[in-house]
Chain A
Amino acid sequence: MRASLAALVFRSSGARMAAPASCIGSITGRAEAESGGISVVGTAGGSPPCDASPVESETVLLINDDGRRFGVAVEGVEDVTSIAFDSIRPLPGMVVSSIEHMKFWGTALLGGEVVLLVDFRPPACG
């Protein structure tokens, strides 16, 4: 059996991304998240959960990270899929060295498309 990662695939900031399904508590609406006192951030610019850029999207991923709860606004959720480890590639050095607060830890190839693998953990905030 091929080693793999169960990941939620979603679209955000105009790109296709994926995050480990285990760190996503649920998917909700923005109004619902905010009414529950959850701060909602985007994925453009800085690293989630650091990025406080204006959020237009109505779909929110609720992230659970060791008791910390926050929401990440996304443009759409696609599917939970299994990403084989051997389809995961590092980001090119040129990209890694150019982004101050790197929130992506790698890439995966899904159906020939490049998907950015997101790290929601606090260390990604730099």
Chain B
Amino acid sequence: METSGILAEAARLRARKEDIVDVDEERVKLVVFSLGGDLFAFYGSDVKEILAPMRIFPVPGSPEHILGVINVRGDIESVVSINGFFGLPQAEPSPRSRIPIAEKGGIRSGIMVDGVEDVVDFPVDSIRPPIATLDRSWRDLVSGETALGDASVTLLDLGEILRRLAP
């Protein structure tokens, strides 16, 4: 094959490869966690790290949703509970509990959850708008719905949650 033929074939293969990339599904990373027996998720890009349960130091005078502060390698982070938004009692930390350190809109905090179930790349197309019948009290805190296996996963609006917690 002449060089011009080789170059043409190479160009054709490159174009084909680009075509394949173009049809790839767009995906987004979600941190799926459990709270009160239900599954919820945050966008992975908003979660800086996920911590195992550790000693939480209370801050007297703070509201009930602020569980206290923790020492993360010499830095002090707050830990909050979001159970109250969903009508759940304050959960007692257990060995399964996790503290995702989340940051959005310039507000940062650890959030106590019952457990982190998975960190998964979901196809963007699999995320649907929140269902219309969603409880009115927390409709504004939800940005979408998806599924993990057979279980429904509620994608939370982390920015709105943190704004409400840090008035």
Interface size class of B (residues with CB under 8 A): 20 to 34
The contact of B62 among A47, A90, A99, A114, by CB within 8 Å, is: A99
- The answer to whether B167 touches A97, judged by C-beta atoms less than 8 angstroms apart, is yes
Q: How many A-B residue pairs have CB under 8 A?
A: 80
Closest approach, in angstroms, between the C-beta of B150 and any C-beta of chain A? 35
- The answer to whether B63 touches A13, judged by C-beta atoms less than 8 angstroms apart, is no
Considering the chains assembled together, what is the distance between the CA atoms of A78 and B25 in angstroms? 60
Chain B CB within 8 A of A93 CB: yes
Tell me how many residues of A have a C-beta within 8 Å of chain B: 29
Q: Could you tell me which residues of chain B, from 43 to 88, have a CB within 8 Å of some CB in chain A?
A: 55, 57-63, 66, 69-71, 74-78, 80
Considering the chains assembled together, what is the distance between the CA atoms of A98 and B78 in angstroms? 11
Most buried by B among A14, A89, A94, A109: A94
Considering the chains assembled together, what is the distance between the CA atoms of A43 and B167 in angstroms? 23
Q: Could you tell me which residues of chain A, from 90 to 118, have a CB within 8 Å of some CB in chain B?
A: 90-95, 97-99, 101, 103-104, 107, 109, 112-114, 116
The contact of B77 among A13, A15, A92, A97, by CB within 8 Å, is: A92
Residues of A within 8 A of B (CB): 12-16, 43-47, 89-95, 97-99, 101, 103-104, 107, 109, 112-114, 116
- Which 7 pairs, one residue from A and one from B, show the smallest C-beta to C-beta distance? A13-B60, A92-B78, A94-B78, A114-B57, A94-B109, A97-B166, A89-B76
